[in-house]
A = this chain, B = another copy of it.
Amino acid sequence: MVIISATEFDPGAHLNSFMDASQNAGAIASFIGRVRGEHNEVESLYLESYADVTERGIENAESEARARWPLIDVLVIHRIGTMRSGDPIVLVATASEHRRSAFEACDFLMDYLKTEAIFWKKQTTKSGSEWVEPRAADYQDNKRWS
């Protein structure tokens, strides 16, 4: 399931619901990305998506993950709108019978979200606002799967 959320979400509560829904999964891997303090310089982060296009893209990545690994369930929640330091941006959870599949699929989906998912990110610090694009390291990580 893919959720693009314009309001703050509770990662622990979503993870618990996800676990409840896939009782046969012995292994649940998850990743939470959130607005870092960067030594408290970041005042806010704004994320923009392209409506259905963004959602369809993530759904395709989910399908690809399911084709590569034996997954029981997948959850992706991604924030848009304005966030502050400490707010969750993204939660990816993968449920599988075995831990290696769960870890790898979670890692794979995060790489997609960091480099290919259709989001634009604007960061506001004391010195102003700027659009942030993926780091070279993110592109490098993503190449591991091709």
Q: Which residues of A contact B (CB under 8 A)?
A: 10-16, 19, 23-37, 85-86, 88, 97, 99-100, 102-103, 106-107, 110, 114, 137, 141
Contact = CB atoms under 8 A, between A and B. Distances in A.
A103 B97 contact: no
Closest 6 interchain pairs by CB?
Answer: A12-B12, A26-B36, A12-B16, A28-B32, A12-B15, A24-B37
A15 B23 contact: no
A104 B34 CA distance: 18
B27 A33 contact: yes
A44 B23 CA distance: 15
A137 B2 CA distance: 32
A114 B99 CA distance: 10
